[in-house]
Structures are given as structure tokens and as C-alpha cells.
Amino acid sequence: MLQAAPAKVNLFLHVTGRRADGYHLLDSLVVFLAAADSLHWAEAPALSLSLDGPEGGALRAEPDNLVLRAARLLAEATGVSPRGFLRLDKHLPVASGIGGGSADAAAALRLLCRAWNVAVPPDAMAALALRLGADVPVCLASRPARMEGVGELLGPAPALPPGLGMVLANPRVALATPAVFRARAGGFSPRAALPPGWADAAAMARDLSACRNDLEAPAIGLCPAVGEVLAALRALPGCLLARMSGSGATCFALLPDAAAATAAATLLPPEWWRWGGGLYETPA
Ligand code: C5P
């Protein structure tokens, strides 16, 4: 049994406030890409996890691994004893702002519901997801969403133009999310004004240019290579917009089509992690 764990990109990320517990209130437009980890499950009496794939070496299958935490949480919530052999085929770089760990945790919740033949009502499932991390609820949905609150409030995204392309690049520096939030200076941004949809990629890029990622400047302060990645993405043929995703260090370039994005990614320095393609097609 198999579940895809697609990467997320924050097309913009406004920090709109701060909760009493220190968590930040956000306004963000999130989309999912065809770049993905994949999680596999096979019947076995006890629960175990192995890590595989080009980025698997950066992680260890320890009890605090988000996939195992998701499995234990789901088992506890549904009263089953956790079982099965899980294998995580890791393609997304760890701690890189494209939701790898959150996507893996969300994939584990979905996969294990099928594997253990348990059903959890959507609201309860979203609450379980939130306990695993602020980005896990949106990853559970794996569809374009306007994300607010600390990540738990999900609304519809504007209608996106068909066939969008995206290039991702990471300078191979891991950035810890709490450190980036801590390095943030200044006040808060307003909630973004967005239209109901965009007819084409150029109109979308124009509106998104009026928004920003409030974590980009602090991330560049901690990791100047993010600035180099942004400059390289902006120089790609067809680039309509380049910006950092999440708390970095991965940045994206928006292009009008997926084939152009796949070709453009090969122009970036090979020592970076780089990817080009289209958006994730949410299964019906
Ligand atoms: O929820 P998650 O474990 O992904 O968050 C990691 C850290 O990022 C939190 O401990 C917090 O420091 C910061 N964070 C935040 N506001 C958010 C999401 C994350 O301050 N909305």
C-alpha cells in the first residue's frame, strides 16, 4: 500500500500576529507540487519504519520521527494496536520549508487509516494532524488552500490557472523553523487581498508580487545562500515570480508551464537540490 506525500509551497506567507503561547498567526496561500516523498506499508505484527531514497540519510527512524508519532497518535485515537512495516522513500530535503516532515506525517495518517481499516471523522483527523505540527492539517488536505490561524484554519484558494510550472531550489542548508521565527524583526503584515481566481499565470504573479514571505529576510540573515538562490531563480527563462517557501531555505520560481519548469531546473547549480515540474493533482 502506498501514499504520496507531496511538497507544499507557500506562495506568500504573512505573519499577521502572535498568540499568547508564542505561536505566530499566519495568512498563507499553499499549493502542492508533483515533487513528493512516498510512504509504503506492508503487513507486519509490530510497527517499524525504515528510511530510503536520496534524502533518507538525513533522518533517523527514531521514535520521535513524525511518521512514527503520527502512527502512535492514530492508534491511540482509534484504539487499535499499531502494526505494519513502513518504508519512507524520501526525496524532499529535510527542514527545508516545503513541508517534507509535515507531508510525511499527513501521509502516515491517511495511509494507516486504510491499512488498519479505521475511520476518523474529518474534524477529529484535522485535530490529530494539528497535534503533529502547524503544517500537518494543510498537508492532510493536499489541495490548494488559504491557510490562517497557526495553520489550522483552511479555506479555499483562488482558482489557479491550469498547467502552472514551478522550480524549487535549496542551497543544501537546513533551517530550523523556530530560529527563523525568532530572527524576525518588526511588526505584523495585513491579511492579503486576493481575487476569486486568476485566468493566467502572469496575472497571478502580478497579484502575488504585492504579497511577501515575512520569513524571507530573517532566513537570508541566518543563511545568506537563500539570497543567491533567489537571484538564480529570478534569472531563469520564463520566471514570473521567485520567493522563499515557508521558513526556508527552499525557494520557488513560478513559471507559466510545467515543461518549461522542468527544463529551467537543469540550469541551476547541480550542487543545490533542485526540482522542476507541475502542481500535484489531488486524487478525486
Ligand atoms: O508546528 P511546528 O512543529 O511545525 O512548528 C515548529 C516551530 O515553528 C514552532 O515550535 C514555533 O516555534 C514555530 N511556529 C510558529 N508559528 C506557526 C508555526 C510554527 O511560531 N504558525
Positive/negative CA dihedral, 177, 182, 185, 189: positive
178 C-beta closer than 6 A to ligand 1 = yes
Ligand 1 pocket, residue 150 CB under 6 Å: yes
Cβ of 133 less than 6 Å from ligand 1: yes
pLDDT at 13: 98
Please report the pLDDT score of residue 64 as a whole number: 84
Instruction: Please measure the distance between the N-terminal and C-terminal CA atoms of the chain and give it in whole angstroms.
Output: 18
pLDDT in tens, the chain (284 residues): 999 999 999 999 999 999 999 999 999 999 999 999 999 999 999 999 999 999 998 888 787 899 999 999 999 999 999 999 999 999 999 989 999 899 999 999 999 999 999 999 999 999 999 999 999 999 999 999 999 999 999 999 999 999 999 999 999 998 999 999 999 987 999 999 999 999 999 999 999 999 999 999 999 999 999 999 999 999 999 999 999 999 999 999 999 999 999 999 999 999 999 999 999 988 77
Grid cell 479555506 in the structure block, residue: 155
Distance CA(189)–CA(219), nearest Å, equals 17
Q: Which three cell numbers stand for residue 252?
A: 520557488
The pLDDT value given to residue 215: 98
What was the pLDDT predicted at 284? 72
At 183 the pLDDT is 96
Cβ(100) – ligand 1 distance below 6 Å: no
Supply the ipTM of this predicted assembly: 0.92
What is the reported pLDDT for 58? 81
- Assigned architecture for domain 158-278: 2-Layer Sandwich (3.30)
Q: What is the pTM of this model?
A: 0.96
Give residue 60's pLDDT: 80
| 155 belongs to an annotated ligand binding site | no
Positions of CATH 3.30.230.10 in the chain: 2-155
d(CA 79, CA 66): 20
What is the Å distance from ligand 1's center to 177 Cα?
A: 6
> What class is the 2-155 domain?
alpha beta
Residues in the chain, how many? 284
With the most atoms of ligand 1 within 8 angstroms of its CB, the residue from 24, 130, 138, 139 to mutate is: 24
| 94 annotated as belonging to a binding site for a ligand | yes
Nearest alpha carbon to residue 151 among 254, 27, 234, 236: 27
Which residue of the set 27, 89, 104, 135 is catalytic?
135
For atom 13 of ligand 1, the residue with the nearest CA is 178
In 3D space, the residue among 44, 56, 110 whose CA is nearest the CA of residue 82 turns out to be: 44
Give span(s): CATH 3.30.70.890, the chain.
158-278
Q: Determine the number of helices (DSSP H) and then strands (DSSP E) in the chain.
A: 9, 10
DSSP 94: T
State how far the Cα of 189 lies from the Cα of 162, in Å rounded to an integer. Answer: 29
pLDDT for position 83: 97
